Amino acid sequence: MGHPALARKSILRDAKFPPTAIAIRYEEARAAVVARLAGVENALDNAVAKLRRKSETAITDYWRKNCDLCIDAIESFRGGIACLGPGKTKFRKPDLHNTKLKISEVNVSVSIDLMTEETDRNGKRSIGAAILVFSRSVNNQKEMERRCKTIALLIFQLLKSQANTSPLVDASLCIGVDVFNAKIYRAITPQVRLLRTVETSCEEVANLWPSIKPPVNYKGPPILKIA
């Protein structure tokens, strides 16, 4: 296993000096899961059928593999959706895109997949949002739970920073969705320790960023600014 500090530097180097070609996977699976949670009953079946046709006619191994990964994600989610347990939470397509949350002088991108809402018996509406998490590499369920709850907390902090007085932003409606295991994790408050961990990580990024050098013969996109 590599040294954690070296791994962090490698992640930051890829962020600051991204390669010319970046593999974008799970986008079609993401669209299908978003549609299903938003109420389109046949979204998963239709997406799998479409991806299987694309896989059969794919002209490269990369695109065939990409289709297979999406099918795997959708079928895994479909297998567990009956136990998802959203309760009274309703999902809809997002009206926030490419949003950023500033933490310790670092602009953290929070790409929301769905808006969430609930209405109580008095007609009072509360809102939140959800982000889908795709990962087969996380074998430890506790680690996936920690990741999803961190994401849910970031969503809550983002919405809270943008909120008017109504409707109320509810932490329990800010959700990280583990797609492969069809589980949802809600933010809870207060989460002082978790928020402080996020702040410390952002402080580390801000401190390390100026020292991250480009790879040899770097020819990628322009260098990104930290904030």
pLDDT of 88: 87
Q: Amino acid letter at 139?
A: N
pLDDT of 1: 44
**181 in Cβ contact with 76 (< 8 Å):** yes
**What is the value of pTM for the model shown?**
0.78
Nearest Cα to Cα of residue 133 among 124, 145, 142 = 145
110-160 per-position pLDDT tens digit: 789 999 999 988 888 999 999 999 988 766 788 889 889 988 988 998 888
Listed by start position, the domains of the chain span 18-83, 90-211
Nearest Cα to Cα of residue 10 among 222, 217, 213 = 213
**127 in Cβ contact with 159 (< 8 Å):** yes
